[in-house]
Amino acid sequence: MVPSRGTRRYYEAVEERDPRVSDYYRHFEAPGLGHCWSPSGLYPFTIFDDMVAWVERGSVPRYLLASFVDENGTEHEGIVCPYPERAVYNGYGDPLSRSSYFCAAGTLDRLNRGDL
């Protein structure tokens, strides 16, 4: 079993040795998602197609499309961003729509203040 932070630490170790790591290796964390799937987190349902597109056509994934259905049957759409970025709500769109989110790096404090 690989702990969730273990993969992050491995990515950071590679990045220390090669600052261009994102040219060939991306690490995506899906908050709330258990091993392979769970009902409480965004499931990145395009991950395989995105990986094939990157390897075979050089189309680097900027983010992964994701969704989950809550206990009331409402579908939530979102994106899963490459570490160290995170999905940030744009503040005015439909919070259930993935088009209302963008990827940004930085702490939540900086994001909330609009410093990015």
Q: Residue 104 in contact with residue 85, Cβ under 8 Å?
A: yes
What is the pLDDT, as a whole number, of residue 64?
Answer: 95
Instruction: For the chain, give every domain's residue range.
Output: 4-113
What is the pLDDT, as a whole number, of residue 32?
Answer: 75
Q: Measured between alpha carbons, how far is 93 from 72 in angstroms, rounded to an integer?
A: 21
6 to 2, 22, 57, 109: CA distances (angstroms) = 6, 18, 30, 25
> What average pLDDT values come out for the chain (116 residues) when binned by 10 residues?
80 95 91 67 89 95 90 88 93 90 75 47
What is the pLDDT, as a whole number, of residue 113?
Answer: 46
CA atoms within 13 A on the CB side of 62: 4
Q: Measured between alpha carbons, how far is 80 from 12 in angstroms, rounded to an integer?
A: 18
